[in-house]
Structure 1
Amino acid sequence: MVRILHTADIHLTADAAEREAALETVLSRADTSDVDLVTIGGDLFDSDVAAERRRDSLRELFSDRSYPILTIPGNHDADAFRSNLFFGESFTPATETPFGQFVISDARVTALPYTPQATDDLLVALRDREPFDGTEFLLLHCSLEAPIRGGVGEEGEQRYFPITKEELAELDFDYYLAGHYHSQHRTELSNGGTFVYSGTPASVTRKETGRRTSALIDTDTAQDVQLQTLESFHYDALDLRVTPGKEERVLDEIRSRVATWENRQVAPEISVDGFTEMDETTFGEALADASGDVPVENGTRTVDHILSHPLFETFQRRLEERERLTAVEERDDYDEERFRDDVWEETLAVFADLAAEGELT
């Protein structure tokens, strides 16, 4: 039995104190979770320079822990852990190539320092590793074959160490603890192993929205991999579209979401577009009141003058009579309100453009 807390992609740098605070939160979680090991799947630092500048201040954080902290270099800090550099008594950088192995309780962690490609020689060496009678973990920094829902931060722009699920399965580990992509993700592999990205413990870019997580692996429980939310800095976003007559519904949704952001380490933003039958000044004031201090991008347009136009009224009446509407109603997934809203939105957009161009008189 072993308990491991896994994190990755902290990207420590001098001008982002919230990331070091998130690291402290992760270690506090480890303190209260009775773990045997903390793993960091690469990119602890945002750069080799950041590692040099932050090393002294981190020694206290990485000392006097009841568990070891095992990290591998990532593509951002590939050369940060040169020999003879001291980061703290509890901290072990795994820099041995092609990989190092660390035994914790009845488990073994194979730690793979960052390398740009999964070469045939490397994959063969991993497959032919010395046998071990216990649970096996692979700690790596990689680009999994499938895009990860929710964004990959800036790491999606270039694929470092690309590898497929099948290649990983052929290595026959029980757990694959990964870094590089910034969103949490868990997937089961064909060999029965579990692959997990913990995601960043604090948002690094605006693309990383929502509360952040760390991964707790407990090989002695049925729910062996848990992605647990952290009280740490993150971005969040609310994107809404309003249609005439539904203004209050949108405002209520904003008020509700804003309430959830209170007392959280969050940098939220709201975007609202669409059309309203209220005048633009009045609706803008209502948005500001509902959102409080949260920034709002207001892309709405009033269509009160269009709704009362005879041509639009005729169109709306004819829409009710169309055979297409009757045919659509026969579908099992038909949603009349949604269908009307979609048609209405597209029509309002056309009419609004015509009015702006002086074509609607």
Structure 2
Amino acid sequence: MMRLIHTADLHLKKGEKNRLEVLRWLINNLERFGADALIIAGDLFDNDTDANILRPEVRKIFQNTDAKVIIIPGNHDQHSYSYDYDYGENVVQLIKTPFESYQLAGIKMVGIPYQEKRFIECIKDLPEEIDLLVAHGTLYDKTFIFNYIDDEETRYMPVYPESLSGLARYIALGHIHSRCIEKKYGDTFVVYPGSPSALDIKCVGKRCVYLVEFRDGDLKMETVEVEISPYWVTREFFLFPGAEAKLIDEIREFLSGIKDKRVMVHLDIRGFSEESDRNLKSRVEQLIREFKGKFSDFRIDTDKVQSWSQLLENRIVRNFVQKTEGIEFNLRMKIFEITLPIFNKLLE
């Protein structure tokens, strides 16, 4: 039996001490998880310069465990590894291209470092019966790729589902930061753990890593929350004309209900306001002052709020609004939420 923690995309960077603390937390908790190894599926560092600066400190962190730390290069730290670089005696760098094999506790592993080529070109001569394959690239699965990742994340070492079935029991991927993703192709589990730190505003929800257990022919996996890592909560609010005070009360109620002190909040307000830009800005600034001490980061975006009076200058819109006057308030607001942005787009 072997247990391991799978993570990726820590993007360690000079001046970002919280990211180093997350790595330290992972190393210090490996024994608690009963893990024999920590797998880092690329982009341990934000860039090669940061790797050179932080390597001594990272080596000290790695030395706090007897477990193996197995690393592959990602697109951000592609040149940060060498057999001449000392990361610690317990660290295994899988850096040979197109792939490198390694065995631990009877588990056959293969690491595919990030390369400027397609994934399928890297796996032509892979050995059979691989238990764990580690790689860093973009999985082109149509069920999620356009919903959860942006253009920047789709450019690197494309991985296609048809090449994965039967390739290994568990494929540990890195490259997508925002969230964890689990897929299964045939008998092969494919997992992105997401970044264990909230690198940017797209990292919504609690940060996690994967605990994977290989026991004979069985494979078990579960997410483990990174208990010290802050995370983003985002929500969109629609502003109905004349309901500015009601919206502020709704936002205040939402914010008051958040109890986790790690939460960072981003609110996106869109819609139409009867008030001047100055008055609406004043309401928002008061709300920010009220909750500023509750969250480590708190942002409200009002760039998508537009002038109601300007929209009503159009006769078609004005007539439409008048015809909805007899409709129940909540239903009328729902109609506005759907239709007014369309009117506004057509009138641009």
The interval holding the TM-score normalised by the smaller chain is 0.7 to 0.9
The Cα of 1:295 is off from its aligned counterpart by: 3.3
Contact 2:166-2:187 within 8 A present in 1 as well: no
The percent identity for this pair of structures is 23
Q: How does 1:209-288 map to 2 (within 5 A)?
A: 209-219=204-214, 224-230=220-226, 231-244=228-241, 246-247=243-244, 250-259=247-256, 260=258, 263-264=261-262, 266=264, 268-276=265-273, 283-288=280-285
Distance 1:257 1:117, change over 3 A: farther
Q: Distance in 2 between matches of 1:97 and 1:113?
A: 7
Q: Distance in 2 between matches of 1:222 and 1:94?
A: 25
Contact 1:22-1:233 within 8 A present in 2 as well: no
Contact 1:277-1:304 within 8 A present in 2 as well: yes
The Cα of 1:213 is off from its aligned counterpart by: 2.0
Q: Distance in 1 between matches of 2:146 and 2:249?
A: 28
Show the counterpart of 1:331.
Answer: none
SS of corresponding position for 1:211: coil
The Cα of 1:77 is off from its aligned counterpart by: 1.5
The Cα of 1:315 is off from its aligned counterpart by: 4.8
- Is residue 323 of structure 2 the alignment partner of residue 318 of structure 1? yes
Structure 1, 74-83 or 294-303: larger mean CA deviation: 294-303
Show the counterpart of 1:181.
Answer: 176
The Cα of 1:5 is off from its aligned counterpart by: 0.7
Q: Distance in 1 between matches of 2:125 and 2:22?
A: 35
Structure 1, 44-53 or 20-29: larger mean CA deviation: 20-29
Q: Distance in 2 between matches of 1:314 and 1:94?
A: 67
Contact 1:39-1:71 within 8 A present in 2 as well: yes
Structure 1, 91-100 or 9-18: larger mean CA deviation: 91-100
Q: Distance in 2 between matches of 1:91 and 1:64?
A: 12
Counterpart of 2:164 (choices 164, 168, 171) is: 168
The Cα of 1:305 is off from its aligned counterpart by: 11
The Cα of 1:145 is off from its aligned counterpart by: 1.1
The Cα of 1:312 is off from its aligned counterpart by: 8.5
Distance 1:297 1:316, change over 3 A: closer
SS of corresponding position for 2:165: helix
The Cα of 1:84 is off from its aligned counterpart by: 2.6
The Cα of 1:176 is off from its aligned counterpart by: 0.4
SS of corresponding position for 2:223: strand
Distance 1:169 1:31, change over 3 A: same
Contact 1:148-1:185 within 8 A present in 2 as well: no
CA RMSD for the aligned pairs? 3.7
Q: Distance in 2 between matches of 1:312 and 1:193?
A: 54
The Cα of 1:262 is off from its aligned counterpart by: 5.3
Q: Distance in 1 between matches of 2:307 and 2:155?
A: 45
SS of corresponding position for 1:85: coil
Distance 1:18 1:106, change over 3 A: same
Structure 1, 2-11 or 244-253: larger mean CA deviation: 244-253
Contact 1:166-1:189 within 8 A present in 2 as well: no
Q: Distance in 1 between matches of 2:151 and 2:343?
A: 37
Contact 1:36-1:104 within 8 A present in 2 as well: no
The Cα of 1:180 is off from its aligned counterpart by: 1.5
Distance 1:214 1:275, change over 3 A: same
Q: How does 1:1-361 map to 2 (within 5 A)?
A: 1-118=1-118, 122-126=122-126, 129=127, 131=129, 136-146=131-141, 148=145, 151-152=148-149, 155-156=152-153, 159-171=155-167, 173-219=168-214, 224-230=220-226, 231-244=228-241, 246-247=243-244, 250-259=247-256, 260=258, 263-264=261-262, 266=264, 268-276=265-273, 283-291=280-288, 292-293=291-292, 294-299=298-303, 300=305, 303=308, 315-316=320-321, 318-319=323-324, 336=331, 339-342=334-337, 345-346=340-341
The Cα of 1:194 is off from its aligned counterpart by: 0.7
Contact 2:111-2:133 within 8 A present in 1 as well: yes
Q: Distance in 1 between matches of 2:119 and 2:278?
A: 61
Show the counterpart of 1:357.
Answer: none
Contact 1:151-1:182 within 8 A present in 2 as well: no
Higher normalized strand content (fraction of residues): 2
TM-score by length of 2: 0.78
TM-score by length of 1: 0.76
1:112-144 Cα distance to aligned partner (Å, 9 max, x none): 222222466632211xx1557xxx010111211
The Cα of 1:283 is off from its aligned counterpart by: 5.0
Is there any run of 5+ residues in structure 2 with no aligned partner, and where? 293-297
Q: Distance in 1 between matches of 2:23 and 2:188?
A: 27
* Number of residue pairs aligned between Structure 1 and Structure 2: 330
The Cα of 1:91 is off from its aligned counterpart by: 1.9
Is there any run of 5+ residues in structure 1 with no aligned partner, and where? 326-334, 354-361
1:279-326 Cα distance to aligned partner (Å, 9 max, x none): 76665444334442233233546759999xxx99975453478xxx9x
